[in-house]
């Protein structure tokens, strides 16, 4: 019970809130310090390529293995970016049901499950398998060279 309360209040050690705390406290942000928020990279400087108009750089394609999902803040937008067999998806990082961090959830194929109450969503269109009215916001993703760019 104590562990569950800690996770609900503080998040997981490898989750978004942990990375945000490290970032605010002077540590590196991102998974093992490998990626940054992308807010500074919208010009394409970090991306090493031209970022399309209206998009921001998110990460390099090799930073997220197939079957993995990570939390990011691109611009001012909290997102979860997933790699499903080499295809990248970006969705809102907030569960419309309970506000849980989607990026901390379980990823299985095109389905992500909220870690708070277990509601599952389709990454392709944001639809919820439990409630037709709940829907994740989906963001357009473009791969430019080896960069994942997201329209936010």
Among positive and negative, which fits the CA dihedral 56, 136, 110, 32?
A: positive
**Domains of the chain: residue spans and CATH:** 36-151 (2.102.10.10)
Name the CA dihedral angle for 71, 76, 77, 83, rounded to a multiple of 10 degrees: -40
Work out the mean pLDDT of the chain and round it to a whole number.
81
Q: What is the pLDDT of residue 27?
A: 43
pLDDT tens per residue across span 36-95: 444 444 444 455 568 999 999 999 999 999 999 999 999 899 999 999 999 999 999 999
pTM of the model: 0.72
Q: What is the pLDDT of residue 19?
A: 56
3-state secondary structure 10-49: HCCCCCHHHHHHHHHCCCCCCHHHCCCCCHHHCCCCCCCC
């Amino acid at each position: 019970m104590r562990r569950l309360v800690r996770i609900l209040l503080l998040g997981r050690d490898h989750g978004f809130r942990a990375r945000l705390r490290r970032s605010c406290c002077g540590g590196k942000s991102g998974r093992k310090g490998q990626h940054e928020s992308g807010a500074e990279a919208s010009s394409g400087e970090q991306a090493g390529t031209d970022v399309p108009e209206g998009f921001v750089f998110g990460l390099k394609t090799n930073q997220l293995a197939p079957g993995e999902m990570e939390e990011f803040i691109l611009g001012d937008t909290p997102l979860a970016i997933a790699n499903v067999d080499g295809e990248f998806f970006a969705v809102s990082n907030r569960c419309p049901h309970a506000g849980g961090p989607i990026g901390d959830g379980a990823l299985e194929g095109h389905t992500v499950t909220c870690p708070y109450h277990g509601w599952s969503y389709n990454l392709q269109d944001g639809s919820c398998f439990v409630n037709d009215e709940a829907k994740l916001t989906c963001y357009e993703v473009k791969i430019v060279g080896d960069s994942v760019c997201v329209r936010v």
